[in-house]
């Protein structure tokens, strides 16, 4: 327990310091949602129609911004050796890293997302579902992004590789989450999309730590 809490505290601090912490991701979301009306024009009709969808896609991309260095620093400076020789298996280390990444970047994004969507014209009553979908989706993005970051270790042009690996993996949660939000706004049954998103996030949490740990071991040897 002591090792776990020590690791969690350290990963939170490192995620907070990495690339400006949550500011970069939230700033990206804010930038996209302020630029959108400038590009689409001031008429509320088209803006309202895309508000939730644009916010959701911007959030998905924003959550990928800061995670390409998730394992790379530790790999370059030798800290990954230290983590590999600890009481917890690398699978747990990877999961803790992703969880810290989500708390520092995903959770603030989930709180900012309804503000951005409502500012674009989404109905206020959609705020809770936008928070929920963003939080769940953020978990999936953090774990999938971590997988990409781990797989790209020890390769040149790692950043490009992360994007190429991760983008296809985040398409399903983007579709599920978007479907849930737009169904809710239209007054249709929305739980199917939310359930699928939940299942995808759970699957990512359950499976990707093994991939991340394997990729780290591979990079270390």
Partner 1 sequence: MITALVIENLSLQRGERVLFSGLSARVEGGEAVALTGANGAGKTSLLRAVAGLFAPRAGTISFEGTADADEARRMGVHLLGHQDGLKAGRTAREELIFAARWSGASGEAALGAAERLGLTRQLDLETRRLSAGQRRRLALARLIAAPRALWLLDEPLAPLDRAGRVLLGEIMGDHVERGGLILAAVHDPLPIASRTVEIGA
Q: Which of 28, 25, 33 is nearest to 52 (CA)?
A: 33
- The smaller minimum CB distance to partner 1, of residues 17 and 128, is found at 17
Q: Which of 102, 101, 133, 128 is nearest to 115 (CA)?
A: 128
Binding site for partner 1 (CB under 8 A): 2-3, 5-7, 9-10, 13-14, 17, 73-74, 76-87, 89, 217, 220-221
Q: Which of 111, 112, 145, 104 is nearest to 27 (CA)?
A: 112
Residue 158 Cβ, how far from partner 1 at the closest point, in Å?
18
Task: Write the burial class of residue 22 (CB in 10 Å: 0-12 exposed, 13-18 middle, 19+ buried).
Answer: buried
- The smaller minimum CB distance to partner 1, of residues 191 and 218, is found at 218
- The smaller minimum CB distance to partner 1, of residues 82 and 188, is found at 82
Residue 6 Cβ, how far from partner 1 at the closest point, in Å?
4
Residue 95 Cβ, how far from partner 1 at the closest point, in Å?
16
Q: Which of 194, 133, 158, 140 is nearest to 72 (CA)?
A: 158
Residue 59 Cβ, how far from partner 1 at the closest point, in Å?
27
Q: Which of 153, 170, 59, 161 is nearest to 113 (CA)?
A: 59
- The smaller minimum CB distance to partner 1, of residues 79 and 205, is found at 79
């Amino acid at each position: 327990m002591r090792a776990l809490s020590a690791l969690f505290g350290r990963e939170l601090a490192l995620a907070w310091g990495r690339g400006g912490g949550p500011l970069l991701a939230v700033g990206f979301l804010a930038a996209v949602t302020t630029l959108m009306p400038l590009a689409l024009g001031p008429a509320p009709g088209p803006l309202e129609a895309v508000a939730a969808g644009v916010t959701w896609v911007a959030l998905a991309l924003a959550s990928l911004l800061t995670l390409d260095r998730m394992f790379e620093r530790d790999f370059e400076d030798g800290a990954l050796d230290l983590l590999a020789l600890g009481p917890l298996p690398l699978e747990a280390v990877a999961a803790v890293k992703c969880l810290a990444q989500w708390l520092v970047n995903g959770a603030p994004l989930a709180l900012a997302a309804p503000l951005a969507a409502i500012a674009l014209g989404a109905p206020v009553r959609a705020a809770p579902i936008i928070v929920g979908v963003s939080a769940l989706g953020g978990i999936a993005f953090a774990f999938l992004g971590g997988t990409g970051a781990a797989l790209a270790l020890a390769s040149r042009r790692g950043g490009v590789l992360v994007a190429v690996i991760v983008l296809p993996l985040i398409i399903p949660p983007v579709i599920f989450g978007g479907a849930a939000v737009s169904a809710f706004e239209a007054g249709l049954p929305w739980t199917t999309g939310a359930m699928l998103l939940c299942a995808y996030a759970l699957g990512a949490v359950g499976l990707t730590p093994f991939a991340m740990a394997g990729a780290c071991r591979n990079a270390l040897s």
